[in-house]
Amino acid sequence: MADLLQFVITGLTVGMVYSLIAMGFVLIWKSSGVANLALGQLVLISSWITYAILVQIGLPVWLGIPLVIVIAFALGWLIERFLLRPLIAQPILSLIAVTLGLSYFLDGLITFIWPWSVDALPRLFPQTSVHIGPAVISQEYLWAAIISVLLFTALSLYFKYSRMGIAMRATADDQMAVQACGIPVTKIFSRSWMLACAMASIGGILMASIGGIGHGLIDTGMKSFSVVILGGLDSFLGAMIAGPIIGLAENLGGGYLTALTWPGVREVIPFIMIILVMMIKPYGLFGETRIERI
């Protein structure tokens, strides 16, 4: 019983961080219809940038973290301006392939600058553990979950009420109409990439501060794909709910199935979930089912 509670709590809190990264994906998909497959690499590179700023340069945390987010904004702007903008109105295959190319490039870039490939970030949160009934949870995970919920709320409000957010939703709905209304679509694309990179970097900082920097962070990004697939590609709420579900499945499965199957079953559960969702409900829990016309 204690085990179960432990798995549930760990799963829910880790899942919140997956949600956070997944929301960055949904943001781009919603506004520009581009699938960002370089998510894992963006998470990893931003945690390395954090490492460079906090450890290698040695800035204090209160100055360093905002700086990382500013750099993430810049990265997002660069990616949109130089990779995605030339490909506007190209087939979806090119759009997917260009982010694949980007992921390959970033992989190399990370090895290029930080070849030792594993390191630790300074802990950002107090590490004393919290007892919930018989279960023990590190306080870091709780903080991560809280930040993720806060960002979700902020993002939802931003999309609902701010001018830019409304413009982004409109662009997702009908690009042509938005352009006809005199809203600069390219500006919206670049804003959404900047925001998404910032979300990926916050996710990266949280994960790296808890578990260290390493190629495991790319897998975290990969797992976020299962979150977006389960939640529906164009729904923040879906991402927010699907994250904890994936986290739960991963931890419960890892806890109870490892004895039955092979070790490492935890890592593959999100991918099995992807296949299952594809077969049963391909557009996810909250995704919009597209009706196509010829």
Binding mask 16-55 for other proteins (x = CB under 8 A): -------------x-----x-x------------------
Q: Which is nearer to other proteins, 111 or 139 (CB)?
A: 111
Contacts for 73 with CB less than 8 Å, ≥ 6 apart: 194, 197, 198
For residue 42, list its beta bridge partners. Answer: none
- The answer to whether 124 and 47 have CB atoms below 8 angstroms apart is no
Task: Say whether 170 sits in a helix, a strand or coil.
Answer: helix
Spatial separation of the C-alpha atoms in residues 129 and 127, rounded to whole Å: 6
Spatial separation of the C-alpha atoms in residues 54 and 56, rounded to whole Å: 6
Considering only the stretches 1-9, 191-199, 246-254, 271-279, report the one whose residues sit in contact with other proteins under the rule CB under 8 A: 271-279
Residue 152 dihedral angles phi and psi, to the nearest 5°: -60, -45
Within 10 angstroms of residue 214's Cβ, the number of other Cβ atoms is 15
CB of 168 to other proteins, least distance (A): 19
Give residue 187's Cα distance to chain centre. 22
104 binds other proteins (CB under 8 A): yes
56 binds other proteins (CB under 8 A): no
- The answer to whether 204 and 217 have CB atoms below 8 angstroms apart is yes
Of positions 80, 195, 274, 286, contacts other proteins by CB under 8 A: 274
286 binds other proteins (CB under 8 A): no
Interaction residues for other proteins, span 202-261 (CB under 8 A): 222, 225-226, 229, 233, 261
Interaction residues for other proteins, span 117-156 (CB under 8 A): none
CB of 105 to other proteins, least distance (A): 3
For residue 94, list its beta bridge partners. Answer: none
- Residues of this chain that interact with other proteins (CB under 8 A) are 29, 35, 37, 83, 86-87, 90, 92-94, 96-98, 100-116, 222, 225-226, 229, 233, 261-264, 267-268, 271-272, 274-275, 278-279, 282-283, 292, 294
